[in-house]
């Protein structure tokens, strides 16, 4: 960031404001590109993972090698699809909803620290900001479902909103013990506090077992938050057709699709950043050889794989089981984690 800033001030002779705006714009373009790329890679990965879990191959033909170009071909096909807007729908909201969902994920990407000094917006309130802007997705989904004027879409949206707002609570509560330990909401500070190999990562159950529990709370809540199986109630194909995006076609559908995979990657990156030491390699020596962003992305990808594994292994839960799990199990356990982590830190003198 400093390098980029110096380039804009030094080479191009911009003043501070202009340079800041330029740096932010460049970062936004980079983030958007990475987001689109990651949606393409993850779609392919999901199909291959699903294939191998079910003893089949998944895509094999497009692009010769293991169908690597399948997702690219899909994107090109989607570009040529007609944009159908139902006559009965609320047209303004219908058109705006996919963009809002996309913005919700893109905004949260702004605060992800990819490497030391490579973060678009190094907020002191970073983690809080991420949780806040990802809530925009809920509004987008509810908007899409309501504006479609379709019963399936409405049911999907209502379920989706109920599920996502419920699971947002254990998701954020699970991060509180980490904030207590790091003493900061700034994502970069949280990562820096975990320097020194796998032993110092927040997930280490010996340093603080409550953080270890919190990681699993976070992971389960993040699956529900991204509307993926076994918690894919908002888009259950077998009962609701496709849920809130039933009426969407072409590029507008692609936005929902993009946002889903961007969110999947986002929650995995947050888990890697908050619990798994962010950009630090497991052994301190490796930090010299592996670029920080690479070890960060590898951790994120492993969590994405875990997420897919869960999706293709477990059957879907019912709505009442979903709500039961959230309100009667995860929220009490997460609250106990917060208190427990505090008591543990006091008892072992892990305070400053």
Q: What part of residues 201-230 is at the interface with other proteins (CB under 8 A)?
A: none
> Which one, 49 or 101, has the nearer CB to other proteins?
101
State which of residues 198, 290, 306, 335 lies at the interface with other proteins (CB under 8 A).
335
CA distance 199 to 351: 18
> Which one, 74 or 122, has the nearer CB to other proteins?
122
Task: Residue count of the chain, please give it.
Answer: 352
Tell me how far, at minimum, the Cβ of 198 lies from other proteins, in Å.
22
Name which of 260, 257, 284, 282 is nearest 272 in CA terms: 282
The structure tokens 């609570």 sit at 169
Structure tokens at 83: 């944009």
Name which of 106, 162, 152, 160 is nearest 248 in CA terms: 152
Q: Which stretch binds other proteins (CB under 8 A): 72-80, 209-217, 285-293, 301-309?
A: 72-80
Is residue 1 near other proteins by the rule CB under 8 A? yes
State which of residues 13, 55, 65, 82 lies at the interface with other proteins (CB under 8 A).
82
Q: What DSSP character marks residue 247?
A: T
Name which of 311, 342, 334 is nearest 227 in CA terms: 311
Tell me how far, at minimum, the Cβ of 213 lies from other proteins, in Å.
16
Tell me how far, at minimum, the Cβ of 230 lies from other proteins, in Å.
16
Name which of 271, 279, 159 is nearest 217 in CA terms: 271
Is residue 84 near other proteins by the rule CB under 8 A? yes
CA distance 243 to 236: 7
> Which one, 60 or 184, has the nearer CB to other proteins?
184
291-320 binders of other proteins (CB under 8 A): 319-320
Tell me how far, at minimum, the Cβ of 249 lies from other proteins, in Å.
9
Q: Which stretch binds other proteins (CB under 8 A): 124-132, 203-211, 267-275, 281-289?
A: 124-132
Structure tokens at 279: 């950009």
Tell me how far, at minimum, the Cβ of 321 lies from other proteins, in Å.
8
Name which of 303, 246, 263 is nearest 39 in CA terms: 263
Q: Give the residues across from 115 on adjacent strands.
A: 118
21-50 binders of other proteins (CB under 8 A): 21, 23-25, 27-29, 31-32
Is residue 237 near other proteins by the rule CB under 8 A? no
Check: CB of residue 296 under 8 Å from CB of residue 287: no
What is the rounded end-to-end Cα distance, in angstroms, of the chain? 30
Q: Which stretch binds other proteins (CB under 8 A): 46-54, 265-273, 285-293, 334-342?
A: 334-342
Is residue 80 near other proteins by the rule CB under 8 A? yes
139-198 binders of other proteins (CB under 8 A): 146, 148-156, 158-159, 161-162, 165-166, 168-169, 172-173, 176-177, 179-181, 183-185
Contacts of 20 (CB under 8 A, 6+ apart): 5
Rg (CA), the chain: 21
Distance of CA 248 to the CA centre of its chain: 23
Is residue 328 near other proteins by the rule CB under 8 A? yes
> Which one, 3 or 298, has the nearer CB to other proteins?
3
> Which one, 223 or 331, has the nearer CB to other proteins?
331
Q: Which stretch binds other proteins (CB under 8 A): 53-61, 83-91, 262-270, 278-286?
A: 83-91
> Which one, 89 or 226, has the nearer CB to other proteins?
89
Q: Which residues of 247-268 are buried (b: 16+ CB within 10 A; e: fewer)?
A: bbeeebbbbbbbbbbbbbbbbb
Mask 239-278, x = binds other proteins (CB under 8 A)? --x----xx--xxx-xx-----------------------
Total residues at the site for other proteins (CB under 8 A)? 98
Name which of 207, 210, 245 is nearest 227 in CA terms: 245
């Amino acid at each position: 960031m400093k390098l980029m800033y110096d380039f804009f001030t030094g080479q191009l002779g911009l003043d501070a404001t202009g340079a800041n705006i330029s740096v932010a714009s460049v970062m936004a373009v980079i983030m958007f590109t990475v987001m689109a790329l990651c949606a393409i890679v993850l779609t392919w990965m999901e199909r291959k993972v699903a294939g191998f879990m079910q003893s089949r191959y998944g895509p094999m033909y497009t692009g010769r090698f293991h169908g690597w170009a399948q997702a690219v071909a899909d994107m090109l096909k989607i570009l040529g699809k007609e944009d159908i807007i139902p006559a009965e729908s609320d047209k303004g909201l219908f058109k705006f909803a996919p963009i809002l969902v996309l913005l919700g994920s893109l905004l949260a990407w702004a605060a992800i620290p990819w490497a030391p000094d490579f973060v678009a917006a190094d907020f002191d309130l970073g983690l809080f900001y991420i949780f806040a802007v990802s809530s925009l997705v809920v509004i987008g989904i509810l908007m899409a479902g309501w504006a479609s004027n379709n019963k399936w879409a409405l049911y999907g949206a209502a379920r989706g909103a109920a599920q996502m707002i419920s699971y947002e609570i254990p998701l954020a509560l699970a991060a509180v013990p980490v904030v207590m330990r790091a003493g900061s909401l700034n994502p970069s500070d949280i990562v820096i506090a975990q320097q020194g190999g796998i032993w110092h990562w927040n997930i280490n159950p010996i340093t603080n077992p409550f953080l270890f529990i919190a990681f699993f709370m976070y992971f389960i809540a993040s699956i529900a938050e991204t509307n993926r199986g076994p918690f894919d109630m908002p888009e259950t194909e077998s009962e609701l057709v496709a849920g809130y995006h039933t009426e969407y076609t072409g590029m507008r559908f692609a936005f929902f699709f993009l946002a889903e995979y961007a969110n999947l990657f986002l929650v995995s990156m947050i888990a890697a950043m908050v619990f798994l030491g962010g950009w630090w390699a497991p052994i301190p020596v490796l930090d010299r050889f592996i670029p920080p962003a690479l070890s960060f992305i590898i951790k994120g990808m492993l969590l994405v794989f875990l997420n897919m594994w869960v999706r293709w292994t477990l059957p879907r839960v019912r709505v009442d089981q979903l709500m039961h799990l959230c309100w009667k199990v995860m929220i009490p356990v997460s609250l106990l984690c917060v208190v427990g982590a505090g008591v543990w830190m006091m008892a072992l003198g892990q305070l400053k």
